[in-house]
Chains A and B, each alone.
Chain A
């Protein structure tokens, strides 16, 4: 009883103090350095680590204070909502976000924008895309298309049997790359607006990897059970690709199967250089982040809001280029890689 009394008294006292302070400190956004928030899908993925580095550098250059936050896992919408609320409470001028759930994040972003915070999606568009003020991202469909075209040219003259190691069900990035690949390969007539993953007769096996190396390996092992004669492997990212390579090597099939991937991380590009991965579509998280911070700095200075979609570019990296598909070699790739 007494303990409970203390509990209520303590909470009550705190509430009173808070009420006494009121909203007096609300206007603090005007003083001091303007703040910019960066919210990534996860804390630890090298892609987002690089993005944070880029943002940090640019924020220092532009005279902004950077606040960062991340979800606990890919798909953790609640943490991102909480982070947006906290950043708005901290008085940020703008928020850069890689949405974990492209639809579910919309209401929280709308609330932030209603308080005149500039919100820019990085890497992944929200659904609908105009949920944010602007989008700085890789064209993931195009990234898929490039490796699709490459795989098509490379496998000319054989009967293609494709294994698709995807991300996770319902995640837009995975769907875009998947569909882009099949389009580039000429296997499916699909455009970037399709909201669901399509399939094609050439696809002999499809599995989810969550972009994880170990899961990529077991997915590949299962696919080899199902279709031992497959000859092309599409992977959602390079960790999944390296996992697939390990599985293929264990069966002595690594020379007979073509692995293509997306991302352009340093480990991945090294994999391309060493011949484990045939080609990868490289994207540029650093550029997304620095463009984003710049946009917020501009908004803080003169109130101009960035709008629309800015393609941060994608480049096919391979040392065995094929005619008709534009590509850069791994030396270029390593210079521009992340992670």
Chain B
């Protein structure tokens, strides 16, 4: 239960180094991709409700914009560091590239504890952030979005501040806004839906019949609940188990996803669902299912339990649910692991759609959002799968290679390297 100190940016750089070696990137491209292209650090004075002034430190990083304006969230966290933001900005660069969005990667952060801030103070902080970053963000430069502890309301304040500064209507400067201010339909289930589409594609190439096949969802939060509902609706999967922080439920004959979602909303937990046997979070991983959706936490699939997994497809809706060692074990077992930054890229894709709709000032119906998301995710899977076959490497590595190759190509075409 101790917390190992690690530097996320060092890990991100290692991943680039490994990919660069596989792709045989030249030194200059490799070096360019190892570092953020632009970093901005700002000091924000913010008036508090009691009349005092507090000083907050803020960051915004445009990691790479060779493929388009930077895209990435703004995190509000008391332990925020420049290196965390750098690493996350790098991962955003690969994520937008793997789904082939015409965007780069970026990230921002404010060192603050939102649990200590009133709504008024949050608003003043959001506006202060935009004032400091106004010269650097914009629809053609860098488009922030919600992230850890930043909400659609905060995005709305940020957008309003930006528009006040530039004196024009620019809803696309921020995504993740409330619907009434130019948010996109379909954002709520976008992450899960994207995961469902790539699962469908993975099953097709793996000759896995999903009709009536059992699925389990570990982590029955927003993404997990939607994965269960959409898995049933789109893929014809049968939900047999689901769990959350308070435990899990299992019924090999099947559980109605809609009924379980209803039960969870009413009671706050999946346990106690009628007709299902109770199981632990650990047990759910080892169930005989075709598809497993780890949708909650990091490092739940580890070397000590990876052998127990019986699923054919493991679709990582959570960030980093599988440790590297477990990844290797699953690879050896022949489990198809859909890596997180491909499987959960549906969210950023719909954020991109929001930008597009804002630019056109024309808003799509839900069906159109779904159709376009399907197309993007399917194409992304195909590219990654093709890379995987060509190089005989797991999908996770293939996804990195696809993404980094795309960014490298853009840098080359621009004549940067």
> Do A and B share a complex?
no
